[in-house]
Amino acid sequence: MFSSVYSAALNGLDAYLVRVEADISDGMPQLLMVGYLSSEVREAGDRVRTALRNTGIVLPPRRITVNLAPAGIRKAGSRFDLPVAAAILASLEKIPGDSLKNVMLTGELSLSGRVLPVPGILALAEAARDNGIHRCIVPEQNAAEGAVLDGMEVIGASSVAQLIELLRHPKEAACVRVDTDRLLREQSCSREADFSEINGQAMAKRAAEVAAAGMHNLLMIGPPGAGKTMIARRIAGILPPVTLEEALEMTKIYSVAGLLPENTSLLLGRPFRAPHHTVTAEALAGGGRIPSPGEISLSSGGILFLDEFPEFKRNALEILRQPLEERRVCISRTAGTYIFPAKCMLVAAMNPCACGHFPDRSRCTCTEGEVSRYLGKISRPLLDRIDICTEVPGISYEELTGKQENESSASIRKRVEAAHRMQQERYEGLPVRFNAYLNGSQTELYCPLGKKEKNLLKNVFGKLNLSARAYYKIIKTARTIADLEQEKRILEQHLLEAVRYRLPDGTYWGKGV
């Protein structure tokens, strides 16, 4: 007898529906799996047969054919065990056939009949919802994750036996409920690292605040042990709390990458990713035969921190250029193009030279050439994507041990939130959300300057040998500083401060004529 049930397969961050069909007919006794399957999907047959037997259901000695449609797309992963079992059970009439209508099933089976968790539930549930299916049966550990979707009934199954019960008495099934509003409300209370723990470094803190307020990429230069990593870790904490939309996207990415902790419904708190400098280009941007998200996508909505910036492999850094500009990663394979979000804020840190002590010449042993070569390791186009640069000087004993009152992250966050709100109002209805995302012509349009301010910039342009890119960066940064002060217009004072955050060029590094 023929029966079918819906499941879903991942394709990058998105999922598509797969219909799992089973048919039992006369013929050589065997379980045949078809539909362009990778080997882990083909193995589902053996897992299902054994899991069913250990639940007390022995497959009859007949020919069982299982097909995963559409047969033209290759299917991978272990998430088809549960729907295959359900389809076979329906063919055997162990469960009513119509109980499988409008249900999406996913899950891996253990030989004992237990249901094991699988990655990517949120994306799968979303695909089901988009196709008009409003009921999902997923592994128990994943149920909370799927349940965050509005209008989706999610039921957790822990074993094949329970699945049969669920399908026999669908009315009695208990749906998992998640109150996303409450989760979002409560998120801001739990932050571990706070800016109040950092003594001194007022300059770097201010730069971090400005960067966070406009989502500008930030470069910190300073000797080892000055506190660059400490500052970077705390930047996520001064960004506004995540919105439901952002939380769903983050959760989806982590879920697809298999990094979502069990029994988590929504990822709250902005990510902070600090890949080691030996990271490969693929790990950074995402890759694999069936691409999975890389660090730049895992940090979407939060901070991607690259410590020892010049030590990263050149090709790994260069791959960041396009994603930082477009705020998404495109990976092309013969099977199609995969798109992952990359809305992260890049925070890079580096020593001023190989020994780390430049410009303190009594300690630095590098020659001029070595010092300028050190910065030269980072390509100009990549530096061009960083708006704000600051120095993090070494810290004195007095500053380190002093008991000062430092401003807390919560109070900095209030200002940043206000600046974000101003930007949201200004860019209403545009794809641009933050000042850092403006291109040249948009900068002209949304950051108009008065006569006095234009004159000042003209003076700066000539005196400091600015490039066109540096020019727009200064205007964008000034816009953010004005937003922090809730000022509608960009004033001279904002431009004057913004100039101080520009990137070092050749002349800073002790290079002569």
Interaction of residue 374 with another protein, rule CB under 8 A: no
Interaction of residue 309 with another protein, rule CB under 8 A: no
- Using the rule CB under 8 A, give the single segment among 139-147, 258-266, 326-334, 353-361 that binds another protein: 353-361
- Using the rule CB under 8 A, give the single segment among 195-203, 267-275, 298-306, 341-349 that binds another protein: 195-203
Within 10 Å of residue 56's Cβ, how many Cβ atoms?
10
Partners of 347 in beta bridges: 218, 305
Interaction of residue 493 with another protein, rule CB under 8 A: yes
> Can you tell me which of 393, 410, 442, 471 binds another protein, judged by CB under 8 A?
393
Q: Tell which positions 252-281 bind another protein, by CB under 8 A.
A: none
Distance between CA atoms of residues 299 and 362, nearest Å: 39
- Using the rule CB under 8 A, give the single segment among 110-118, 358-366, 380-388, 430-438 that binds another protein: 358-366
Which is closer to another protein, CB of 127 or CB of 449?
A: 449
- Using the rule CB under 8 A, give the single segment among 112-120, 148-156, 229-237, 460-468 that binds another protein: 460-468
- Using the rule CB under 8 A, give the single segment among 66-74, 114-122, 320-328, 498-506 that binds another protein: 498-506
DSSP string, 399-440: HHH----PPPHHHHHHHHHHHHHHHHHHTTTSS--SGGG--H
Do 156 and 138 form a contact (C-beta atoms < 8 A)?
Answer: yes
Interaction of residue 384 with another protein, rule CB under 8 A: no
What b/e string do you get for 262-273 counting C-beta neighbours within 10 Å, with b at 16 or more?
eebbbbbbbbbb
Within 10 Å of residue 491's Cβ, how many Cβ atoms?
18
> Can you tell me which of 35, 200, 287, 302 binds another protein, judged by CB under 8 A?
200
Q: Are strands 345-350 and 218-221 parallel, antiparallel or unpaired?
A: parallel
Q: Are strands 108-109 and 115-116 parallel, antiparallel or unpaired?
A: antiparallel
Do 477 and 493 form a contact (C-beta atoms < 8 A)?
Answer: no
Which is closer to another protein, CB of 48 or CB of 495?
A: 495
Radius of gyration of the chain (CA): 28
> Can you tell me which of 28, 174, 468, 513 binds another protein, judged by CB under 8 A?
513
- What is the crossing angle of helices 228-235 and 202-214, to 10°? 30
Task: Tell me which residue of 315, 310, 420 sits closest to 374, measured CA to CA.
Answer: 310
Interaction of residue 361 with another protein, rule CB under 8 A: yes
> Can you tell me which of 206, 313, 328, 469 binds another protein, judged by CB under 8 A?
206
Which is closer to another protein, CB of 34 or CB of 464?
A: 464
Q: Which residues have CB under 8 Å from 249's CB, separation 6+?
A: 300, 301, 341
- Using the rule CB under 8 A, give the single segment among 278-286, 301-309, 407-415, 496-504 that binds another protein: 496-504
> Can you tell me which of 258, 288, 369, 440 binds another protein, judged by CB under 8 A?
369
- Using the rule CB under 8 A, give the single segment among 118-126, 129-137, 201-209, 229-237 that binds another protein: 201-209
Partners of 138 in beta bridges: 156
Interaction of residue 412 with another protein, rule CB under 8 A: no
Q: What minimum distance in Å lies between the beta carbon of 387 and another protein? A: 14
Interaction of residue 391 with another protein, rule CB under 8 A: yes
Distance between CA atoms of residues 172 and 182, nearest Å: 27
Q: Which two tokens stand for residue 380?
A: 């100009």
Q: Are strands 218-221 and 388-391 parallel, antiparallel or unpaired?
A: parallel
Q: What minimum distance in Å lies between the beta carbon of 224 and another protein? A: 16
> Can you tell me which of 91, 106, 141, 201 binds another protein, judged by CB under 8 A?
201
Which stretches of the chain bind another protein, using CB under 8 A? Answer: 200-203, 206, 221, 352, 358-359, 361-362, 367-369, 389-391, 393, 456, 459-460, 463-464, 493, 495-497, 499-500, 504, 508-513
